[in-house]
Structure 1
Amino acid sequence: MTDSPLVSAEWLMENIDAPDLRVIDASWYPSWASPSNAGRDTYARGHIPGAVYFDIDEIADTTSDLPHMMPDSVKFSSRIRKLGVGDGNRIVVYDANDFFASARVWWMFRHMGHKDVYVLDGGLRAWQGAGGELEDLPPVVTGGRHFTPRVRSDLIKTMEQMQTLAATSAAPILDARPSGRFNGVEAEPRAGLSSGHIPGSVNIPSSALIGSDGKLVDKAHLEVLLGKCRSSPAVATCGSGVSAAVIALALAELGNYDVAVYDGSWTEWASHADNPVQKADA
């Protein structure tokens, strides 16, 4: 494959019939911005031939009050097997919404110890732009392949761990939300949450990492934005753990595959009154 976490539409076209390759559609839209099931509806209207649909709101810890939290390894493995994905598969994830939530699903597989997973650079738009066809019928999934989780606990952070990081500055905290929300001058889209950021964190809006063509910006641009973290531990956060994974993906493109994601992100942090909140005028 490649040292990059990305593959091109052209590469996918050349390799899509490989027997060990599995393609996953992870299209997802925030509930506060789009109708319910918008991602699944996008998949149903047309997807890359053979792709199965990964719903981050269903393959999640649905007992949590927080949105799309990482499920335990038992549930993840069970759901993945039902999608026909298992050990020995090369996985390519894509979406129709500028890495929402293909980067998240890529990170989920890596957290579960599966290294042979990649993201289609530019997503569905790149596939169609390269002449790729779509189908609107779900594929016939052949199960039976076992998925063995090898959980990397270092790739996920809890609120308690983030409290320690905020107090000690032991590793950079990179926040992917828009600058207005990060600085506390624009409202959060989730009702009841104050805006602002975890003390000591740095704002790297995920939109700055994505070009107008829906692809990750080039390495030179990534180096300017993220170069200080290319070879050191870092933690990415956002509103609910989705766009944070775009930062993790971008740093992997620079060679750092060990970036953790704060799964609860701002939704969890700001829901606890005891957690300190910093704003631009602090």
Structure 2
Amino acid sequence: MTNLDEILGTRLQIPVADAIAVHDDKNVKFVDGSWWLPNQNRNARQEFEIGPRIRGAIFLDIDDVANKGASSNPKNLPHMMPSAKLFSAAMDAMSIVNKDHLIVYGQEGCPYLHRAWYQFICMGHDNSKVHLLEGSFQDWEEADGPVDFSAKN
């Protein structure tokens, strides 16, 4: 059993201290799954790109990685589950592979980050390797987890 297996195991929720302990492991990816309703006047992608964010984190935009267009989404509903092909291409672009442990997190008060977790599960990522951070990004920051304050291009 590796140290990673000892710390994360197959738990759904990962305490911030444990997530910090595995942050630098090459088989762990942190995924910001934040998303806000339009009437909340927040843009999760923009907040992620401006920073701060967990150092090395990836942003999963459920509006971008979604079925769009008349053939796959005839009613043009927002953020519909993507096709397997689209999801696979998005994961390739994010350098996420099935052996990776994913720790999905979000901004404080974000009730929708579970959708990102659910999307990984539905699209076939190993259920035992998709975790939720027990707490928010702000909890991570307060615990002195590695943070990137620079803006992304």
Q: State the TM-score bracket (shorter-chain normalisation).
A: 0.7 to 0.9
Aligned to 1:118, the other structure's residue is in SS state strand
CA distance in 2, matches of 1:137, 1:80: 23
Residue 6 (str. 1) matches residue 13 (str. 2): yes
Retained in 2: the 8 A contact 1:98–1:122?
no
Residue 41 (str. 1) matches residue 46 (str. 2): yes
Give the counterpart of 2:58 among 52, 57, 67.
52
Deviation at 1:43, TM superposition (A): 0.8
Percent identity, aligned pairs only, is 25
Greater Rg by CA: 1
Q: 1:110 to 1:99 in 2, by over 3 A?
A: farther
Tell me the equivalent position of 2:123. 112
Aligned to 1:132, the other structure's residue is in SS state coil
**Correspondence 1:224-263 to 2 at 5 A:** none
Deviation at 1:8, TM superposition (A): 1.2
Q: 1:84 to 1:101 in 2, by over 3 A?
A: farther
Aligned to 2:79, the other structure's residue is in SS state coil
CA distance in 2, matches of 1:137, 1:84: 21
Retained in 1: the 8 A contact 2:20–2:145?
yes
CA distance in 2, matches of 1:112, 1:138: 30
Aligned to 2:132, the other structure's residue is in SS state strand
Tell me the equivalent position of 1:77. 88
**Correspondence 1:143-182 to 2 at 5 A:** none
> Aligned AA for 1:72?
S
Tell me the equivalent position of 2:135. 122
Higher fraction of strand: 2
Aligned to 1:127, the other structure's residue is in SS state helix
CA distance in 1, matches of 2:100, 2:45: 23
CA distance in 1, matches of 2:85, 2:109: 29
> Aligned AA for 1:27?
S
Deviation at 1:99, TM superposition (A): 4.7
CA distance in 1, matches of 2:62, 2:112: 8
Deviation at 1:138, TM superposition (A): 7.0
Q: Cα RMSD between the aligned structures?
A: 1.8
> What TM-score comes out, normalization by structure 2 length?
0.81
Retained in 1: the 8 A contact 2:35–2:110?
no
Tell me the equivalent position of 1:68. 79
Higher RCO by CA contacts (8 Å cutoff, separation 6 or greater): 2
Retained in 2: the 8 A contact 1:28–1:97?
no
> What TM-score comes out, normalization by structure 1 length?
0.46
Residue 135 (str. 1) matches residue 135 (str. 2): no
Retained in 1: the 8 A contact 2:36–2:110?
no
Aligned to 1:108, the other structure's residue is in SS state helix
Residue 15 (str. 1) matches residue 22 (str. 2): yes
Per-residue CA deviations over 1:222-273 (Å, capped at 9, x if unaligned) read xxxxxxxxxxxxxxxxxxxxxxxxxxxxxxxxxxxxxxxxxxxxxxxxxxxx
> Aligned AA for 2:86?
K
Deviation at 1:97, TM superposition (A): 4.0
Retained in 2: the 8 A contact 1:52–1:138?
no
Deviation at 1:112, TM superposition (A): 1.3
Tell me the equivalent position of 2:5. none
CA distance in 1, matches of 2:60, 2:102: 12
Q: Runs ≥4 in structure 1, deviation > 6 angstroms?
A: none
Per-residue CA deviations over 1:153-187 (Å, capped at 9, x if unaligned) read xxxxxxxxxxxxxxxxxxxxxxxxxxxxxxxxxxx
Runs of 5+ unmatched residues, structure 1? 140-282
Runs of 5+ unmatched residues, structure 2? 1-7
